Structure 1
Amino acid sequence: MRMAELSERSGVPTATIKYYLREGLLRPGRRINATQAAYDEEHLRRLRLVRALIQVGRMPVATAREVLVAVEDESLDRHSRIGAAVWSLPDGSPAGPSGDAAEAPRDAADEAAERQALELLERLGWSFGCAARDDSPAYRMLVGALAALERSGYPCVMEDLLTYGRSAGQLGAVDLDMIERYEPGTRQVEAAVAGTVLYEPVLLSLRRLAQAEESNRRFGDGG
């Protein structure tokens, strides 16, 4: 397909597609002549992934490029490749007053959160290697969230965290089941990245709907 058709099918303006090509987010098309190139279904799929990262995931272009580099890294095994791509996604760690959580000095709440997170992972039986754990944006996000709850006066109880963790374990299995529906390789890694970005709003909305339903059951008139 030509760029005009790629734009029409994806809903992305041609100027934006050209920008993504210049920034290395999209592979060049097959050159037809000096001024035109042809694109295929892989370009269309990748373009939709880029839009998901930038629009839904609200990633800067440079961060999206880093994620896509990990997606393309065929030197890694499947587990490492999916992990590298997903770990490249920005985390939502609570920021300090400066707006940068990494620069905020550690305090008693951070230390308590670290101990609680380690205990939680141990009791769940989740076998993170020490180095992998410390490098994980998700682990840092967990510690940051637990510390923020501690500071706010609403600290997490371990039994509640274990309930959340076990539910998350079931969700993780569902996620991997969905990923395995796709062809192994780059397609699966793309699915893992897209699923992480696009399904998090689904999980958040379902949680809030469930809270409303349970509140109505407990405190409302059942209507």
Structure 2
Amino acid sequence: MRLADLSERSGVSPATIKYYLREGLLPPGRLINTTQAEYDESHLRRLRLVRAMIQIGRIPVATVREVLAHVDDDSLGLTIRLGAALWVLPHPGEPAPDAADDPDDPSLDVARKRVDDLLARLGWTTAREVGDLSPAHRALVSTLATLDRLGHPLDADDMLPYARSMEQAATYDLDRMETLPTPAEQTEYAVTAAVLFEPVLLNLRRLAQSEESARRYGL
């Protein structure tokens, strides 16, 4: 398809598509002459992913470029490829660089011990080995420390039922991902899930809380 067709099918303006091409967010099309290129379904899929990250995920262009570099890195095994792409994305609960936790705060040590206890009980050996190198691990520790300071501590017993539910969600995520034919498409799916499915899970939880509250306490 030509650029005009790509624009029509995606709903993205030609000017924006050209910008994404210049920024390296969209791979170049196949040149058919000196001024025109041809695009295929992979460009359409990638364009939709870029738009989701930028418009819905509010992710900066530079971060999107870094995510996509990992998505396209055929030298990586699938686990590392997925991890590298997802680590670059924003992680809820991780402090901003200018608002980092005080490393001497005792709440952080308590939170790390609780997370380590939880991971040991779950048998999540990879997560334990990676530890604070993982943005998700750091964000979890920081959030637990904040809850502790606010007087709402969570220990491993409190978190275990939620973590078991997340295990089931992760299994379902990967089962769906494995239906896709290539590692690049599988990694794209994982990024899409992180940007779009996490809000689905959050809002389902809030709807479930509302429903349970109505059952218990009435309207």
Q: 2-side partners of 1:104 and 1:158: how far apart?
A: 22
How do 1:70-219 and structure 2 match up within 5 A? 70-95=70-95, 99-100=96-97, 103-106=100-103, 107-128=105-126, 132-219=130-217
- Report % sequence identity: 56
Would the aligned equivalents of 1:93 and 1:101 in 2 still touch at CA under 8 Å? no
Tell me how far apart the structure 1 counterparts of residues 137 and 72 of structure 2 sit (CA, whole Å): 24
What is the identity, as a one-letter code, of the residue corresponding to 1:150? D
Deviation at 1:94, TM superposition (A): 4.2
Give the match's secondary structure for 1:33. Answer: coil
Q: Secondary structure at the match of 2:91?
A: coil
8 Å contact kept, 2:120–2:128? no
Deviation at 1:93, TM superposition (A): 2.6
Unaligned runs of 5+ in 2: none
Q: C-alpha distance in 2, partners of 1:214/1:118?
A: 31
Q: Deviations over 1:3-31 (max 9, x none)?
A: 11111111111111111111100011111
Structure 2 CA distance for aligned equivalents of residues 116 and 101 of structure 1: 26
8 Å Cα contact 1:149-1:156 kept in structure 2: yes
| Alpha-carbon separation, structure 1, partners of 2:49 and 2:172 | 21
Cα displacement string for residues 29-56 of structure 1 (whole angstroms, at most 9, x for unaligned residues): 1112222211111100000111111112
Kept in 1, the 8 Å contact 2:101–2:142? The answer is: no
1:28 corresponds in structure 2 to 28
1:129 CA displacement: 5.9
Q: Evaluate the alpha carbon distance shift between residue 129 and residue 159 of structure 1 in structure 2; reply closer, same or farther with a 3 A threshold.
A: closer
1:7 and 2:4 correspond: no
TM-score under structure 1 normalisation? Answer: 0.92
What is the CA distance between 1:164 and its match in structure 2? 0.6
RMSD, aligned α-carbons: 1.6
Structure 1 unaligned regions, length at least 5: none
Question: Contact 2:178/2:186 (CA < 8 Å) preserved in 1?
Answer: yes
In 2 relative to 1, CA 138–129 (structure 1 residues): closer, same or farther, beyond 3 Å?
closer
- CA-to-partner distance for each residue in 1:107-166, whole Å, 9 max, x for gaps? 111111111111111111111265522211111111111111112221114322001111
Residue 155 of structure 1 aligns to a residue in which SS? coil
SS in 1 for 2:126: coil
Counterpart AA for 2:50: V
SS of 1:111's equivalent in the other structure is helix
CA distance in 1, matches of 2:205, 2:80: 30
Separation of aligned partners in 2, 1:102 and 1:134: 17
Deviation at 1:103, TM superposition (A): 3.5
| Local SS of the residue matching 1:128 | helix
- Runs of 4 or more, structure 1, over 4 Å off, are none
Q: Distance in 1 between matches of 2:202 and 2:162?
A: 13
